[in-house]
Amino acid sequence: MDKDRPERRYTLQEWEQVLDPQVRQVQLLGEITLSVEETRQLGQLFGRLIKIHQAWSINKICETIHQKYSCAFAVFLVSQGLHDANAENGYWPDVDQTFGQQLDSNWHRQLGLLFEDILRQYSLPLFDDIGGYRYVSLILLHGGIPNYALFDYFQHLLRPAVTRPDYASLPAAELIEEWLHHSSGRYFSDKPVLRFLEFGGQVAVDFVERTREMAQEFLETGLIPSAEEVGLPHRIIEAFHKCIIKEGCFDLYRPGEPELRLRRPEIRLDPWGEGLSLDLLPQQIPAKLSQAKISWEVRLDGQFETSLPVRLERVGYHLQTPTKSLVLERVVTSVEISSLFDGQVRRTWTYALNGPLLVLDPNCHTLLRWKISLPARPLWLLYPAEARLEIKGPAIKQIELPPLPWGWGGFKGEAWDLSRATQVILRQGEEILADIPVRPDEAAHRPHLIGGYLHRTFNLIGVPLYLGSPPAIRIPLVGRTSPEEELGRWRLTLINPWPASPSLDNLRRVPLNELRQCLVQQDGYVDLLLNHPALLGDAPLGSYTIRLRGPLGRDAELPLRVMPHLYLTGHEALYLPDPQTGSSEIEILIETAARITFEAQVEDNPCQVSLLEQEGDAWTYQVNVPPDATEARLVAVRIQPEGNPIRVPLQIPLRRLRWALTGDTERADSQILVWSSQTLKQSLDALEQTVAPILLVDFGHAGSTQDVTLMPLKLSLIDLDGRVLQAQRLVRPLRDPDHLVWRFELLAFLDTIRQTSSPAVHFELAWITEEEQVRLPVLSLTRSMQVDNVQVQIQDDGPATTVIVTWHEPVWLRNRRVRFWPVWQPWRSYREEVIPDGAEGELRFSVIGPEFLIGKYLLEFIVVDPWTPPPRPLRPPTQGPNLVTVELSSPEERLEQIERGIQTAGPNFSLFLEHAFIEADRDQRQAALNDLWQCYHWFEQATLLQILALIDLVQQSDDRRLLTLLRLKMSKADRLQQLIQSYSDRQIPEIYLDAYRDQILLRTGLWPTESCKILLNFPYEPVQLFALMHLIRRGTEFGGQTILERVKQHHLSDADGVDLFFEINPNFAATFLVQHRTDPDAQRLLMGLIERNPEGDGAALIIRSGYFIRSYAGWGRIDRIETVDENRAVHHFFKDETGFRLFV
């Protein structure tokens, strides 16, 4: 019983006077705590009222309760359910028992309607998505989690949420979904818990986040925050305390940092471009997991669709996966995406697309997950074209979306503003496919940023960037209480996760009514001025996170970045690629405040930054962005006199013209969009087999200058002789102005392509600007050659030898080539010969020297286009209509030549390896294996390409011992240095580097220490980090110094640095960091290590806030530490240091 409430209330009027102001301050009636006895007393009073007026009609009694005792009645119904463990099975009979009256079902229905009316009167949540018994479910849901079910919630759901690494970093909404569908804790939780989590909406999300914060604070400090601090009902705090003290369901320890923070993929719609697609968002990968083989696995309608391997890239402090977009070409009812590490599923997400109505957020174009009702705000609605949409209420149809591509062509899309609508009905003929109520939009009552100068460029990507004075936060007032009382329920937390100016340490859970000087009250809302000196001031610099916690369901987290001054130019123009070489470098000019410098975020192929001018308070930089980059990733840095530098990440989007072909049947991952600024190449046969090929053209984010897409675009099909065979024009429709992707459906060109006799055609994109006509080849198509009866003859003509190739070709084509790929010497390069256009089944060319005239070859007949330079060819498969193998010498003859060469010149790796390939080709497995062992003994003679060929053949032989020994030789320092240097000098392509890497990663535990040091320069950073982990595991000073240096250079985050130390060798880490504790970075890492391992060696060396110590007054907790001479607050000091004052 609350201390300000008498033990007994004798009248309903007194109860109403106490409960009315409380109801006006809560979102969930269960936030108001009544004891069991108080609930019983209040119920008896209502029972007496009903008995006294039993001559009245039900409606009149309900009207009396509504007019005089509405708050008391609603709180009683909810409290009855909270204390009744049998409410799920028989709520109304227990209410009757408390009333002392036997009421029938008509009474129960009228009382339920009365409860709904009271909720509407006080603008309390109606939870439109709730199912089950309409009134009982609503009453129980307003109670939240009843008292008898709290222990199950704490033990089986909340505890894993704050102690398991895979749960610790999930957003509350995703955590709830995980609990409901994947967690074993759902099997041990009572039905009211699961109902509240599933149907409680934003109220449930805020409740989970607050209880998680409560539990985390207890694990970190041993203290439980007050109900007012964390914004939870007193009964929740009391139950949690009981759970800890009496049941012991929480152990006092600080959990480790979360291992993995995975973001949910999104279903996105671009009706003007690629249609519906699955966006695999970038995932931040901890350094200690960077060596894992990471992949995405996608299932459509429960069937495996594709597996996508991931190559990590560094962005700022962290490694992350690149963004991928998978086009959904056919109608599906479910999409399942899994993230795999070394073949093990770490996380799975599921989207259901089986309803007759798909709903999307028009701001970000992403699929909106809904259950029974829709929010009253602008939405995109997608439904079967043969159905009819009816909207009740004054809704506004904004636009009709263009027809969708592929299998989604049978759907219709419309943009509607449902802000004042009440119902959405979807009909097909006389049948109602969907009848959906429209609920008030929860987001409309949550705080949001207003004002300030928002840099539009950065508003397109990530956290908003404000220039100069920061914005304000508008907090809507619902008007159920006075503004002073409503503001008293709000708590502000304002932090800077990284160094910033000003740096905020003490603005946590501050009641807004204590910040009156920062507030401006208007009709219906209050503005919190972030530029007030008590908050951020007029010219802050850095990244901040603002959390506002108020009535349940209205919490908001608002991240933002602020810089005093930033002006950009050069990024807004549309950059066109060169038809031959592709994209070129882009030059951007940046003007910013004095003493701010810039660094590149991306390690591979970073931007080059140079200071051009220092004039007064403005510094100007030139940034050169490498070709193909679609954004410039930079970090603005300002060095501070004390402490760490302030760093503000910036992602500047660039407007590069790019294009992509969907439905590319020549790629295994054909549904993944691969954007390019060079002419795409594909065979005509493959395009003809595509169900609905589409060319997408991306003009990037809209710029401030005149947009070329205001002009009509034309796509032309042109043959080898320059004739335009067909053209298609597009005129800009009404569409989203921020991002411009155009769709050309190539199905309309297929008949023309089939009819032309040209061996190669290409698509050209053209438009006219004020200065010129732009023409770009975007897609080249070549016919596949079909050959048979291929023969090769050798004719000796003296010093040169003539090779004669004859074949039969059903259709004579032009622009032909033939490539000779060595079969017995696969490390050798191919030879390519031009087939003259007039040649009909015969090619003659001369060779000098005997090397080409021996061995076996795979002949590849191709057609090339004359418009673009050919890409580096890859070895083709062994079979195909344009492929044939020929032997210029017999295996026996060549084996004999090799054996004579070994006898004459001595053992030779190249000869042994060729001998092995010939024996394998003859299916003489044991003879080939003998040769492979000889290759092992003479391994030092091998080139890098020979090593890779050797490994391929050994893997086919299945000799695991030989394979292991070869991998050890491949891991030697001199070999690795040769590999890195060859790649740096562009002597080998990335595909060979990756193949070599995959082999050495299979035996990392036996890497020599010197090899680990060499691998710190490997061109792929996960390999560097893996080598670094081995150096730390071995306790080498070099490894510790490398981590410290990379943290200093901002190539490793503090979290990754601590991970590499703590997870691998915590004792070495503590010793090393203590030795280097005068270094601020080492000291910071040491503190992180101690937080991760409070029982380790490092913890015994420091005194810090929060520690418990024994003093003359007994045991106490250190509240703060100050220096004796300057009274300066510090977080910690070492035990061997003096001059500090403790406040206990």
| 707 C-beta neighbours (distance < 10 Å), count | 15
- The answer to whether position 455 is within a domain reads yes
Instruction: Mark whether 839 and 767 lie in a shared domain.
Output: no
Query: How is residue 22 written in tokens?
Result: 């409380």
Instruction: Mark whether 932 and 906 lie in a shared domain.
Output: yes
- The answer to whether position 796 is within a domain reads yes
CA angle 1082, 1085, 1089 (to 5 degrees): 135
Q: Cα–Cα distance between 478 and 315 in angstroms, integer?
A: 42
Instruction: Mark whether 99 and 17 lie in a shared domain.
Output: yes
Instruction: Mark whether 362 and 421 lie in a shared domain.
Output: yes
Q: Are 153 and 194 in contact (CB under 8 A)?
A: no
Query: How is residue 753 written in tokens?
Result: 């392509």
Q: Cα–Cα distance between 253 and 220 in angstroms, integer?
A: 7
Sign of CA dihedral 518, 523, 525, 531: negative
- The answer to whether position 324 is within a domain reads yes
Query: How is residue 585 written in tokens?
Result: 């470098």
Instruction: Mark whether 187 and 151 lie in a shared domain.
Output: yes
Q: Cα–Cα distance between 283 and 878 in angstroms, integer?
A: 38
Instruction: Mark whether 792 and 767 lie in a shared domain.
Output: no
Q: Residue 859: its pLDDT value, please?
A: 96
Q: Residue 958: its pLDDT value, please?
A: 86
Domain at 600, CATH number:
2.60.40
Q: Residue 1: its pLDDT value, please?
A: 44
Q: Cα–Cα distance between 84 and 95 in angstroms, integer?
A: 10
Q: Please name the amino acid found at residue 514.
A: E
Q: Cα–Cα distance between 942 and 978 in angstroms, integer?
A: 12
Q: Cα–Cα distance between 39 and 964 in angstroms, integer?
A: 74
- The answer to whether position 254 is within a domain reads no
CA angle 852, 854, 855 (to 5 degrees): 110
- The answer to whether position 6 is within a domain reads no
Q: Cα–Cα distance between 196 and 318 in angstroms, integer?
A: 37
- The answer to whether position 1099 is within a domain reads no
Sign of CA dihedral 1134, 1138, 1141, 1144: positive
Q: Which of 544, 561, 578 is the last residue of a domain?
A: 561
Q: Cα–Cα distance between 643 and 655 in angstroms, integer?
A: 38
Instruction: Mark whether 808 and 747 lie in a shared domain.
Output: no
Q: Please name the amino acid found at residue 1136.
A: D
Q: Which residue stretches of the chain have pLDDT < 70?
A: 1-9, 87-88, 131-133, 246-259, 316, 458-462, 506, 602-605, 663-670, 701-711, 731-739, 770, 1097-1098
Q: Which of 509, 538, 561 is the last residue of a domain?
A: 561
Max Cα-Cα span within the chain: 127
Predicted confidence (pLDDT) per residue in 282-332, tens digit: 888 888 888 889 999 999 999 999 999 998 988 767 888 988 989 998 899
Taking CB atoms within 8 Å and a gap of at least 24, the contacts of 956-963 are 956/920, 957/920, 957/925, 957/928, 957/929, 957/932, 959/929, 959/932, 962/929, 962/932, 962/933, 962/936
Q: Cα–Cα distance between 441 and 398 in angstroms, integer?
A: 19
Instruction: Mark whether 666 and 647 lie in a shared domain.
Output: no
Alpha helices in 641-782 (DSSP H): 684-689, 750-755
Instruction: Mark whether 850 and 767 lie in a shared domain.
Output: no
Instruction: Mark whether 645 and 669 lie in a shared domain.
Output: no
- The answer to whether position 880 is within a domain reads yes
Buried b / exposed e over 424-459, threshold 16 CB at 10 Å, is bebeeeeeebeebebbbebeebbbebebbeebebbe
- The answer to whether position 815 is within a domain reads yes
Q: Cα–Cα distance between 161 and 176 in angstroms, integer?
A: 10
Q: Which domain holds residue 647?
A: 566-656
pTM here is: 0.83
Q: Which of 744, 763, 782 is the last residue of a domain?
A: 782
Instruction: Mark whether 641 and 651 lie in a shared domain.
Output: yes
Q: Which helix (H) or strand (E) holds 935?
A: helix 925-937
DSSP letters, 830-899, are PEEEEE-TT-SSEEEEEE-SSGGGSSEEEEEEEE--SSSPPPPP-PPPS-STTEEEEESS-HHHHHHHHH
Predicted confidence (pLDDT) per residue in 467-494, tens digit: 999 999 999 987 777 888 888 889 999 9
Give the chain's end-to-end CA distance (angstroms, integer): 33
Instruction: Mark whether 382 and 458 lie in a shared domain.
Output: no
Q: Residue 849: its pLDDT value, please?
A: 77
Q: Cα–Cα distance between 599 and 1107 in angstroms, integer?
A: 39
Comparing CA positions, the residue from 306, 279, 311 lying closest to residue 293 is: 311
Helix (H, G, I), strand (E, B) or coil at 454: strand
Q: Cα–Cα distance between 659 and 679 in angstroms, integer?
A: 9
Q: Residue 247: its pLDDT value, please?
A: 62
Taking CB atoms within 8 Å and a gap of at least 24, the contacts of 950-959 are 950/913, 951/995, 951/999, 952/826, 953/913, 953/916, 953/917, 953/920, 953/928, 956/920, 957/920, 957/925, 957/928, 957/929, 957/932, 959/929, 959/932
Q: Residue 169: its pLDDT value, please?
A: 75
Count how many domains the chain has: 9
